[in-house]
Amino acid sequence: MSLLIIGTVAFDAIETPFGKTDKIIGGAATFIGLSASYSTKPVKLVAVVGDDFPQADILTLEEHGIDTEGLQIKQGEKSFFWSGKYSQDLNSRDTLITELNVLADFDPIIPDAYQDCKYLMLGNLTPAIQRLVIQRLVNRPKLIVMDTMNFWMDIALEELKETIEMVDVLTINDEEARQLSGEYSLVKAARKIQEMGPKFLIIKKGEHGALLFHKNKIFFAPALPLEEVFDPTGAGDTFAGGFIGHLAATDDISFENMKRAVIHGSAMASFCVEKFGTERLLNLTQEEIEAREAQFGELVKVLPVTAVLPA
Amino acid sequence: MSLLIIGTVAFDAIETPFGKTDKIIGGAATFIGLSASYSTKPVKLVAVVGDDFPQADILTLEEHGIDTEGLQIKQGEKSFFWSGKYSQDLNSRDTLITELNVLADFDPIIPDAYQDCKYLMLGNLTPAIQRLVIQRLVNRPKLIVMDTMNFWMDIALEELKETIEMVDVLTINDEEARQLSGEYSLVKAARKIQEMGPKFLIIKKGEHGALLFHKNKIFFAPALPLEEVFDPTGAGDTFAGGFIGHLAATDDISFENMKRAVIHGSAMASFCVEKFGTERLLNLTQEEIEAREAQFGELVKVLPVTAVLPA
């Protein structure tokens, strides 16, 4: 089923305790698109870059089945650039540089060929621009998933709430869920956030896994304990891309299928963190992905007592 | 099977964002003992208090099946006292007061009637005292579980390593596992710590669940998302008490049974945090405990695809 994503396509410069990069390709929509492309193609992209963005990287996106008709290239302007440095335990990061550049006046134009989309993923962006995308679609998609962050809660809370009201699934982290709801208990937070509009809430907890809430139902997917953890940049976007990619591919938005989508997204994110930037997402095989999904089942499996008691 | 626990029995004064207490009963061995008592009785206690410790609270322990023959009462001395204040998100706490009192020269005397113990739980204490308990047992217990904390890694690392070498199961949190091993990846950290002696490692992650490692096997139990989270004090001890209580009651130390012990311990800890101090642990029913254990299975359950695809 047709998947449309909107978000940043950008340059990142990253420093982790394990190494640092010069400017490499990043941005929420880049990670979302690459991740989703392992489930469904084409992935229709709405984003903006400057003329400094390498043609080779646009080709890489296209080779992964990402339709770039909606990728605006602004002549004489520069692409969005973010630079950050992670703490020793990777659990926090300082932003060193944010250059909005082309993002400052981004007008998300939806090509006519994108109007048939049934699944819409709103990557983290100004809530007003996310809302504009919904409004510019002639038919409301079957499912709208929205990612956001505490930054918008701090500076544009009312605007953010207006957009949240229009979506089906919201993905945020635990700290953000507490901030948005004013509740410490994630159970209470999830209830309040569902009252704000989204029927489903995903709380992303990074290396601690992800929670899916819907009405009084809760599902938890752990994060896989990994041998190599290198760079968390893009992990949340990769999760979201895997999540909506799986839903679009199966065209089933039941709670039960969303559980599987959460596991698939978690598996995709577990690859993302093993290398800098998008590197690990460029050449995955279905076998690798399925093997990792199977590990989630193993990790939480408990045999019934009767099966293991001595005879 | 006979369970022996050693640890602190003490006074706590606690402040959380949700309220504060005067001096109430706390201490690692108190939480461990109460929690374990729901699985196995008697729980044999080695600890020390001053003559300020209320007789009524000792009676409460005894009513829960805790054998207090090994509880030394030092006349003219005061019990260990700890006071702490939790951060807004409950994820960190500042120690306001630590008065060692009777703990300063604690000599853990093992009553003869305790010598038959098969399961030994070393609650968080000076590593040298934990080791002394092992040395004073005529026969090595079938299973020794040890809890410790970063404080001992900071000030008594070599002594700590000597004790760790003698135990079967070590329980620490993720930050401590990283500090002890020098590895960021918990998979690598678990491997290194197993090389230090313990054949099993449990990494406690509080509201993010618990990981059990043994050789190349990993099991993960989530923490239950709770309606009410009030006071995390004693949750780790309550987990440990439930864990070893289950093992002692079933007398089965297979990896498969340890998984169930981790789930039982997690269920017990989920009660602990709902009220201040030990309050919630005093009057639980087996039905309540089993209902909560069942929730762990529900939380991670994914139906096979064939069972839910439309016909």
Question: Which residues lie below 8 Å from residue B266, measured CB to CB, with a gap of 6+?
Answer: B209, B210, B221, B222, B223, B224, B239, B242, B296
Q: Give the mean model confidence (pLDDT) for residues A133-149.
A: 97
- Shortest alpha-carbon distance between residue A109 and chain B (Å): 37
**Whole-number Å distance between alpha carbons of B11 and B24:** 5
- Taking only residues 230 to 259 of chain B, the set having a beta carbon closer than 8 angstroms to any beta carbon of chain A reads 254, 256-257, 259
Nearest CA to CA, how far is A229 from chain B (Å)? 6
CB atoms within 10 A of CB A97: 9
pLDDT computed for residue A302 by the predictor: 87
Q: What is the pLDDT of residue B310?
A: 45
Q: How confident is the model at residue A92 (pLDDT cuts 50, 70, 90)?
A: confident
Confidence of residue A305 (pLDDT cuts 50, 70, 90): low
CB atoms within 10 A of CB A215: 11
pLDDT of residue A138: 96
Say if the Cβ atoms of B185 and A209 lie within 8 Å: no
Alpha-carbon separation of residue A299 from A25, B221, B222, B301 (angstroms): 33, 9, 11, 12
End-to-end CA distance of chain A: 51
Distance to chain A for B114, nearest Cα, Å: 28
Read off the pLDDT of residues B150-186 as tens digits, 9 standing for 90 and up: 999 999 999 999 999 999 999 999 999 999 999 999 9
- pLDDT at residue B144, rounded to an integer: 98
DSSP string across B22-78: SSEEE-HHHHHHHHHTTTSS-EEEEEEEETTS-HHHHHHHHHTTEEEEEEEEETT--
Contact assessment for residue A277 and residue A231, using Cβ atoms and an 8 Å cutoff: yes
Which chain A residues are closer than 8 Å to B190 by Cβ?
225
Mean pLDDT of A47-61: 97
Q: Please classify residue A244 by burial: count the beta carbons closer than 10 Å to its beta carbon, then call 0-12 exposed, 13-18 middle and 19+ buried.
A: buried
B83 three-state secondary structure: strand
The reported pLDDT for the residue numbered B305 is 67
| Rounded-to-integer distance, Cα B48 and Cα A21, Å | 56
Using the Cβ of A182 and the Cβ atoms of chain B, whether some distance falls under 8 Å is answered with no
Q: How many CB pairs under 8 A join A and B?
A: 91
pLDDT for A89 equals 79
The distance of B65 to chain A (nearest Cα, Å) reads 26
Residues of A in contact with B222 (CB under 8 A): 209, 220, 222, 300
Type of residue found at B304: P
Cα separation of the two ends of chain B:
51
Distance CA B10, CA A243 (A): 48
- The Cα–Cα gap between A242 and B42 comes to 51
DSSP assignment of B244-264: HHHHHHHT--SHHHHHHHHHH
In this prediction, residue A308 carries a pLDDT of: 45
Are the Cβ atoms of A225 and B220 closer than 8 angstroms? yes
Q: For residue range B230-287, what is the model confidence (pLDDT) as tens digits? A: 899 999 999 999 999 999 999 999 999 999 999 999 999 999 999 999 999 999 999 9
Residue B311 has a pLDDT of: 40
Task: Determine the average pLDDT of the residues in A138-163.
Answer: 97
State the best of B220, B255, B305 to mutate against chain A, taking most chain A CBs within 10 Å.
B220
* Domains of chain A and any CATH numbers: 3-8+29-46+111-301 (3.40.1190.20)
Mean pLDDT across the stretch A131-159? 97
Q: Could you give the 3-state DSSP secondary structure of residue A64?
A: coil
Please give the average per-residue pLDDT across B139-150, as a whole number.
Answer: 97
pLDDT at A285: 97
| Percentage of the residues of chain A whose pLDDT score is greater than 90 | 90
Arithmetic mean of pLDDT, A186-195 = 97
| Integer CA distances (angstroms), B213 to B128, B138, B232, in order | 25, 29, 24
Question: Does the structure show a pLDDT above 60 at B139?
Answer: yes
B302 reaches A (C-beta below 8 A) = yes
String of DSSP letters for B182-198: --SSHHHHHHHHHHTS-
For residue A260, what is the nearest residue in chain B, using CA coordinates?
B302
